[in-house]
């Protein structure tokens, strides 16, 4: 299924996804309230065009797990510890069991929160390609909602990398990697999932929230 806003709206009421979709966390206060008993799994999907920009197929799924977010920890480095992490090449029919296996190996007895940034495509692929993973989540949060809530005014919120640059993350950890010196760049879904975890922590720090407000 090619991601479109029509498809995104359709899955909001679909039996496989509607229960979790209703458990959307949209405010900073609600986000802060779940920290004590929750772990977080970031999801990012990359898709590529086939015959046109409107005809896209799933190319990569990135997952990153963080057991706890601690807003009082202001010493978290602004450089990510690694790029890409473990990569696996699997057939589409094997994607769902691979995703479920990853999630089940991460579970810690805490509520598991699905997290992303700008998530229509991720929701479509989640409900289409690995729907049996949906019941494993207690709630979900699109960090763009949290950023919008912090700003509390009409304005343009930067994209994921723009926010991390604003919060002083090292630019070489944020930008896509050069595929060959000077010959283009390549996004990586796993790398973006790690960046999403970094943003989740960054939004908990008041010094970063002040940068969004002004």
- Domains in the chain (CATH in brackets) are 5-213 (3.30.420)
**Cross-strand bridge partners of residue 42:** 64, 115
Structure tokens at 65: 């797990």
| Backbone dihedral angles phi then psi of residue 94, each to the nearest 5 degrees | -100, 0
**CA 129, chain centre distance (Å):** 17
d(CA 67, CA 196): 14
9 class by beta-carbon count within 10 Å (0-12 exposed, 13-18 middle, 19+ buried): exposed
Per-residue pLDDT at 138: 97
**pLDDT average, residue stretch 122-150:** 95
- Dihedral sign (CA 69, 74, 76, 78): positive
pTM for the full model? 0.84
| Average pLDDT score over the chain | 83
Max intra-chain CA distance, the chain: 49
User: 3-class DSSP state for residue 52?
Assistant: strand
Residues in Cβ contact with 89 at an 8 Å cutoff, skipping those fewer than 6 apart: none
pLDDT tens by residue, 3-25: 565 677 888 888 889 999 999 99
Q: What is the percent of the chain where pLDDT is above 90?
A: 47
Q: What are the angstrom distances between the C-alpha of 202 and each of 12, 76, 78, 100, 123?
A: 29, 9, 9, 28, 23
**pLDDT average, residue stretch 70-99:** 71
**pLDDT average, residue stretch 129-151:** 95
Per-residue pLDDT at 169: 83
Residues in Cβ contact with 208 at an 8 Å cutoff, skipping those fewer than 6 apart: 166, 167, 202
pLDDT tens by residue, 176-203: 554 444 444 456 888 899 899 999 999 9
């Amino acid at each position: 299924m090619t991601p479109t806003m029509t498809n995104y709206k359709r899955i909001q009421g679909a039996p496989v996804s509607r229960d979790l979709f209703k458990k959307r966390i949209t405010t900073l206060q609600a986000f802060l309230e779940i920290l004590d008993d929750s772990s977080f799994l970031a999801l990012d999907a990359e898709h590529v065009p086939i015959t046109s920009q409107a005809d896209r197929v799933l190319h990569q799924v990135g997952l990153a797990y963080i057991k706890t977010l601690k807003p009082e920890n202001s010493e978290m480095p602004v450089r990510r510890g690694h790029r890409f992490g473990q990569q696996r090449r699997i057939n589409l029919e094997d994607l769902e069991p691979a995703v479920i296996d990853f999630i089940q190996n991460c579970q810690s007895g805490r509520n598991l929160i699905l997290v992303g940034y700008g998530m229509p495509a991720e929701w479509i692929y989640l409900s289409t390609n690995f729907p049996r993973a949906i019941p494993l989540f207690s709630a979900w949060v699109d960090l763009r909602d949290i950023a919008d809530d912090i700003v509390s005014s009409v304005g343009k919120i930067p994209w994921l990398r723009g926010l991390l640059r604003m919060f002083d993350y090292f630019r070489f950890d944020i930008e896509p990697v050069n595929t060959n010196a000077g010959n283009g760049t390549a996004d990586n879904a796993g790398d973006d999932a790690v960046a999403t975890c970094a943003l989740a922590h960054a939004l908990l720090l008041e010094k970063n929230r002040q940068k969004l407000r002004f």
